Amino acid sequence: MINMASHVQQTPPYTREPSPKHGVSTTQSRPFINSGLTAWNNIQKFLQGDECMIDGSSLEIAGVVAVAKYGTPALLSTDDETRKRIDDSVGMLRTHLDSGHLVYGHSGVRISVGQAILKLLNKNIIPVVPLRGSISASGDLSPLSYIAGAIEGSPDIYVRLSDGKVMPASEALKDAGIEPVVLGPKEGLGLLNGTAFSAATASLALHQSQDVVLLSQVLTAMGVEALQGSAESFWPQIANMRPHPGQIESAANIFSFLQGSQLAKCVGSPKDTRMTGLYQDRYALRTSSQWLGPQIEDLLHATSQITTELNSTTDNPLIDVESDHVLHGGNFQAAVVTSTMDRARLCLERLGKMLFSQATEIINPMLNGGLPANLSADDPSLSFTCKGVDINMASYQSELGFLANPVGNHVQSAEMHNQAINSLALISSRYTFQALDTIYMLSAAHLFVLCQALDLRVLQNDFLESMGPEVKKLVEDFLSTNKQSNQGLQDELVYAISTRVHKVWPTTTTADLDGRCKTTADAVTLDVINTFAKASPSIPLDSAELVRLTSKLQTCMQDLYEAKRQNLFKNHLITTPTYLGNAAKRMYQFVRGDLGVRLHRGLVEHPTQPLPEGVEVEEPRKSIGSRISVIYEALRDGRASAVLMACAEEGLRQKQT
């Protein structure tokens, strides 16, 4: 049995640490990841057989998740302190009633009543509660009344069993051998008055929101690799010069996820000041830690608030046993839950906007640094692979923007103006689940895009690296008939042609393979002429030989690229991970290996497309939407969470480089 009190951890203060020259600080506090790992480890203990002990002071979000999602048994604490606190409260209620005092409500509910609720829960007898109808002001009166009716054995209250069967509570209690509860004085109000429903719902939503924040950081690291971006943006010097705690942690997290990458620049090494091309990444990557930072801080604060709410008394009136006073207040007003959920949805919208911006940059051939148009593995004239994914993601992000609107500003006066202000906490929590579902769809689509992009980036790099020796062979053959040539001219030609190929090839991504090769080969003509002119005007250049050189270069490029492409189709699950950073490697292998969502090869993957002779693809062929659905289900059902936590643990172990 696990005592939740021993697992309550205060959020450690953020500290500003000295910056290592290049790398992750070994002492830097990362409370968001530590908080997530603590919750994850506690849930694993519950799954291994520990029970969730409820004592009124130490319940955590992890305990709510374990009970609600995984069926962990929940028990009321029967230690002397807890029992005395409840018995004193019940005893004081009796005193007031015996003396004729009029008490409109009381939190003095017997232990046996709480145990009756947990009997239903542990036997998976769940009251059927209307989705709508609560304003979460005098607590969630309507939803909680169905729980009270269920333990009473009301024949007009329905419950759902573990097999999905729905039946009256009276029958379910009889079949389960549970005695109906006869509620004592004011126990009904004690059960109904409170924020338990909205607080529990918010706990589940907040737990998933934290998962999405971690996922967003991992996906951002993968995006840096897919675009061959720079890890410099996440160096601690930058964050420490603007020391917002969330930004500091986000930068440290993403940098640690990039360790080991062969694609990202500035990982464990100084910046190359002579680099060509895009000198600094676009905002969706470069400022991602600044974008993520406030979301991390908001969710950490929300976690603290909801944890407090889970361990609060939210009834009215309240009995102060020590002073023997009946206190009339409004602890049932769940405004704190509304605030956390409204902020959580805004955080989710921000995360979605960042991921969508990263994805569109990766898909766009004008921005992605040499990846094929729409990430088509075959010719772009044959398939538009990720074009539809881009459209889907735009829809998801638009919906996230709508759902980000606050609920708390739609309050209506209720109960003849007695509840003129009311929190709408349960409504806000419900809409947060809609936002979560939407951003999981967006994240699944983005993860599909990232894995496709990483495979194609490896293909492009492998091809260009392999062109060097091929160019040398072509130049040697080209100069073999020229008796006046020399080694210096040969070296100059190899350098000039290789440089031109590396520059032109990434600009031809909207063309089919034959067009790309012809454009690139034709582009070297002027380089050859200029190289001859600079080397020695006396060395003749045969124009016919030059034409043959460009023709051979075109054929060589086409044959080599096709060979590399076919090799990647067969071996991407082995080849691509060798280029990736720690987090990207784990996530890529999860998608490609565990989930079986392989590289999309283009038109041949279409389920009804006839296969050319000799071409084999993995059967059954699935649409892109079906592949993304596999990823989405893994994100939603928690399978991906284990991978994310492994990324987090490994990130925390990273040493300064």
Cα–Cα distances in angstroms (integers) from residue 230 to residues 268, 271, 391, 637, in the given order = 11, 9, 28, 33
Asked whether 16 and 252 are in contact (CB, 8 A), the reply is no
DSSP 85-153: HHHHHHHHHHHHHHTT---S------HHHHHHHHHHHHTT-EE---SS---SBSBSHHHHHHHHHHHHT
Asked whether 153 and 173 are in contact (CB, 8 A), the reply is yes
User: Annotated catalytic, 104?
Assistant: yes
Q: Which of 104, 431, 440, 579 is catalytic?
A: 104
| Cα–Cα distance measured from residue 159 to residue 173, given in angstroms and rounded to the nearest whole number | 10
Q: What is the identity of the amino acid at 31? A: P
Instruction: Map residue 314 onto helix, strand or coil.
Output: coil
Q: What is the maximum span of the chain, computed from C-alpha positions, in angstroms?
A: 121
416: left (phi over 0), alpha (psi -120 to 50) or beta: left
- Tokens for 124, please give them: 């998976």
| Cα–Cα distance measured from residue 647 to residue 108, given in angstroms and rounded to the nearest whole number | 46
- Tokens for 237, please give them: 């010097």
| CA-based R_g, the chain, Å | 32
| Planar angle of CA 149, 86, 328, nearest 5 degrees | 80
Buried b (16+ CB within 10 A) or exposed e, 455-481: bbbbbbbbbbeebeebbbebbeebbee
CA dihedral sign of residues 64, 68, 73, 79: positive
- The DSSP secondary-structure symbol of 506 reads G
How are beta strands 318-320 and 166-168 bridged, if at all? Answer: unpaired
| Cα–Cα distance measured from residue 459 to residue 203, given in angstroms and rounded to the nearest whole number | 44
Cα–Cα distances in angstroms (integers) from residue 644 to residues 221, 229, 258, in the given order = 13, 22, 14
How are beta strands 158-160 and 126-127 bridged, if at all? Answer: antiparallel
Catalytic residues: 104
